[in-house]
Structure 1
Amino acid sequence: MNIEKMDSLEEKRIIILMSTYNGGDYLDEQLKSIYAQTYKKFRVYVRDDGSQDLTKEILNQYKQQYENFEWFSGENEGASKSFFLLMKIVPLEDAIYVFADQDDVWLPHKLQHIYKVFETDDNMKPVLYCGDTILADDKLQILKKENFGKKIYPSFGNALIENICIGCTSAMNSCLLSKLVEKVPQYEVMHDWWFYLTAACYGTVIYDSEPLLYYRQHEGNAVGSGATKRSRLARRIRNHKKHKNQISRQVEEFSEIYQVYGENAGLIECIKRYKDSPKACWKLVTNRNIRRQCSLDNVIFKILFLLKQL
């Protein structure tokens, strides 16, 4: 693909990507928060993933009201595939690509903040931005969140076994978008984890501890975030049972799509071979570069690797 260059003296355009599915209860509130942004140079692209409620009516209303709003209707593919399909539709230019969920609410300065992050980006290598959120219930009442002041350290070794990128907080340059759509994965745990893997392998990942949106928690969330230690543990156990072998399968897919060299290639081989080789398994478990952010979590996952459960 050829990337259309914009005048370097101009502000970069922001392209917002959203996938919707039966989001009628919260969609209007989210779109209002987008159009209330202090940074105005943006365009919204929405792919509807086969909604059966009022979602399409709301999208039509915004299409009629705003010239910088487009939406497309599609078959139900699930959130991850829907976002990848949308990424192949949107124009590829020297812009900032910002991802949005249908049920959150953005703080007014979110786009301005992200623009500042990417303002000096030369678009020569993939860059992924992601960050923290304000957890809220379905009425946008803030939920208590345990915060230990822990810093997040993005790395490829971390990306192999843990996702720190919440999709609704993510933004990227066109260099990363171009790489992601060259060959869309047939299997990925979620699109945002695939973003993190790719950017950590080939470019830069920026994790921002300043939350820029209310991350609404409700029964319809495709992926939620527990507000307490107990709920997070319960969610992790559920996900492990539901997606057994998901980590090794995703790593296998990544290695088939991309050419990986050097230290990163060695880390991939640790994951790919640990079930068949006791030596490779021990190498994985003792490798300090393959790690999760939380120390206790890291120990648990290393035990699961020894048990060949990931």
Structure 2
Amino acid sequence: MTKSKLDSRVAILMCTYNGASYLQEQLDSIRAQKYENWHLYVSDDGSQDSTLDILGNFKSRTGRLCIFQGPKSGFCQNFLSLICDNSIKADYYALSDQDDIWYEDKLLRAVTALSGISCETPALYCSRTKLVDERNNETGLSPLFKRTPGFRNALVQNIGSGNTMVFNHAARRLMLEVGSGINPVVHDWFLYMVISGCGGVVIYDLGPSLRYRQHTANLIGANTGFIARFKRFGLMLFGMHRRWNTHNIEALSGLREKLTPGNRFIYDEFSRFRSASLWSRLIGLYRTRLYRQTLGGNITLWLAALFKCF
């Protein structure tokens, strides 16, 4: 990388809530990053364990931490409060959970990938993850997605785990425009929709960039395996996917005019045909060419259209 690229400032946005059990390992992995021009911003949602003590110690040792009081409205709103805090300014923004372990080249890989894109073009980097248990024993990898990222995919599926996401300032400007008062299902899925929908670039790294800890306190897990897929199918039949799509469509409405003309057509069509007659739903799905990443996922998508579950 050139010196100018190494000088790019990265704001790491971390949300915490009673994370003392694993937080120190995550902070140590951030401190060990090969890419050194970072500053950590933490929004704590009212921790009652030693989370704030651990953060205070890290701040005193590094001088590279700002702590905010979270909105106490759930993890999605907590992340949005950081993403949309205009007092935080950087060239790139990296999302961080409180309990993972970053590879030492995580930020370097992300900035290297994003630095080849014009600073005026919204851009998002995300990657696969190495799955580990509570004791940091490896249990597998997150799913491998091979189809090209895009808005047609983003409307019906999130391929990027938020703890791997890094995005540039052009993408951040879009989030500032829509603001933190929205109510999408999750912040990372919404980022994927916004950036792909508004003509941005989405980079999906086939190699893992962190160790994603799976434990009983996880708010969102890796969603791998047959049992997870079966549960998601059940959620679809009981209308959960339909409610999710309603939330996402409403959240995205504030940026409708920023969508590319082709993506605005897809957005409008999806908003319309998901509540239309059976024939209109099937025709609409065919015309918009919405897709998920796997054959099974696409079969489920067509079943959702058949049973009016999206």
Shared fold (TM-score, shorter chain, > 0.5) = yes
Counterparts of 1:44 and 1:261 in 2: how far apart (Å)?
Answer: 33
Counterparts of 2:74 and 2:5 in 1: how far apart (Å)?
Answer: 39
Counterparts of 2:225 and 2:201 in 1: how far apart (Å)?
Answer: 30
- 1:181-218 CA distance string (max 9 Å, x none): 21225220100011000110121111111101000001
Q: Residue 285 of structure 1 corresponds to which residue in structure 2?
A: 285
Residue 252 of structure 1 deviates from its aligned partner by 3.4
Q: Residue 307 of structure 2 corresponds to which residue in structure 1?
A: 307
Residue 236 of structure 1 deviates from its aligned partner by 5.3
1:158 maps to 2:157: no
Counterparts of 1:127 and 1:175 in 2: how far apart (Å)?
Answer: 7
Higher helix share: 2
Counterparts of 1:150 and 1:77 in 2: how far apart (Å)?
Answer: 31
Residue 305 of structure 1 deviates from its aligned partner by 1.7
The AA in structure 2 aligned to 1:269 is: D
CA 1:19–1:282: 2 relative to 1, 3 Å: same
Give yes or no for contact 2:241–2:309 (8 Å, CA) kept in 1: no
Q: Residue 167 of structure 2 corresponds to which residue in structure 1?
A: 172
The AA in structure 1 aligned to 2:263 is: N
- 1:35-58 CA distance string (max 9 Å, x none): 011111111110001112111111
Secondary structure (helix, strand or coil) at the match of 2:290 reads coil
Residue 234 of structure 1 deviates from its aligned partner by 2.4
Q: Residue 21 of structure 1 corresponds to which residue in structure 2?
A: 17
Aligned residues: 303
* 2:250 pairs with one of 243, 249, 252: 252
Residue 132 of structure 1 deviates from its aligned partner by 0.3
User: Which shows bigger deviation, 85-94 or 293-302?
Assistant: 85-94
Moved over 6 A (4+): none
Q: Residue 234 of structure 1 corresponds to which residue in structure 2?
A: 231
The AA in structure 1 aligned to 2:270 is: I
The AA in structure 2 aligned to 1:250 is: N
Counterparts of 1:14 and 1:146 in 2: how far apart (Å)?
Answer: 25
Residue 171 of structure 1 deviates from its aligned partner by 0.4
Percent identity, aligned pairs only, is: 31
Residue 88 of structure 1 deviates from its aligned partner by 2.7
Question: Which blocks of at least 5 consecutive residues in structure 1 are unaligned?
Answer: 1-6
1:188 maps to 2:184: yes
* 1:140 pairs with one of 133, 136, 142: 136
CA 1:97–1:261: 2 relative to 1, 3 Å: closer
Q: CA RMSD in A?
A: 2.2
CA 1:156–1:141: 2 relative to 1, 3 Å: same
Give yes or no for contact 1:137–1:216 (8 Å, CA) kept in 2: yes
Q: Residue 211 of structure 1 corresponds to which residue in structure 2?
A: 208
CA 1:216–1:164: 2 relative to 1, 3 Å: same
The AA in structure 1 aligned to 2:206 is: S
User: Which shows bigger deviation, 133-142 or 111-120?
Assistant: 111-120
Counterparts of 2:5 and 2:166 in 1: how far apart (Å)?
Answer: 21
